[in-house]
Amino acid sequence: MMRFILPFIVFIVLSGFLYVGLNLDPREVPSPLIGKAAPAFNLPQLHDPAKTFSPQDMKGKVWLLNVWASWCVSCKEEHPVLLQLSRQNIVPIYGLDYKDKRVDAEMTLSGAGNPYTVTVSDTDGRIGIDYGVYGVPETYVIDKQGIIQYKQIGPVTHRSLNETILPLVAKLEKQP
């Protein structure tokens, strides 16, 4: 009897590991920034480079920071989702235009619609490095204290919005 049970147990354990592995995404690297203060920056605004924007300005508000670029293909995928969210006025979306040309970015937004309250230009990608950006689009949920609470890697979908981001935003809104 033993000679069947032992291999069977090994098989079950191995299948368990492989099954869990099926649902893991190796491209999703857990961010060490979660639970930490959003890195400071002071960058020129896309539509009005004379003005700047800093995360410091958002103290006391829950907001989303969406890293995007006109050359990014998956950003086009999430664009309608962001537009819809911005129309609902639940949470302000701020854009970080990552390693992009100003003209291209402006053209993208004027063509496809602009979901961002403000977009800032990170032309050489340095702020992107501070935020641990390695693939656009990426979206950060930042709370009233300026702490990063969640990072979405890859495009925001209706599903990730309804299941993760919006419930989190609602919870953070209740906090002081």
Partner 1 sequence: MKRLIVLLLCLIPLFVYAGEAKDLAADPVLEKRMIGLAEKLRCLVCQNESLASSHAELAEDLRREVREQMSKGMTDQQIMDYLVARYGDFVLYQPPVKSYTVLLWFGPFALLLAGVGVLIFQLRKRRQSVPEVELSAEAQQRASTLLNNEKDN
Residue at token pair 């069977």: 8
Residue among 27 and 159 whose Cβ is closer to partner 1 = 27
Please give the residue ranges that form the binding site for partner 1 (CB under 8 A): 26-27, 29-33, 99, 124-126, 128-135
* Closest to 99 in 3D by CA, of 125, 64, 63: 125
CB of 11 vs partner 1, minimal distance in Å: 16
Which amino acid, 131?
Answer: Y
The CA distances from residue 37 to 55, 126, 135, in Å, are 10, 17, 21
CB of 10 vs partner 1, minimal distance in Å: 11
Task: Determine contact, residues 70/101, Cβ cutoff 8 Å.
Answer: yes
Residue among 33 and 147 whose Cβ is closer to partner 1 = 33
Q: Is 120 helix (H, G, I), strand (E, B) or coil?
A: strand
63: left (phi over 0), alpha (psi -120 to 50) or beta: beta
Residue among 125 and 167 whose Cβ is closer to partner 1 = 125
Residue among 29 and 107 whose Cβ is closer to partner 1 = 29
Residue at token pair 């993760």: 164
When computed from its CA atoms, the radius of gyration of the chain, rounded to whole angstroms, is 20
Query: Measured over all CA atoms, what is the biggest interatomic distance in the chain, rounded to whole angstroms?
Result: 79
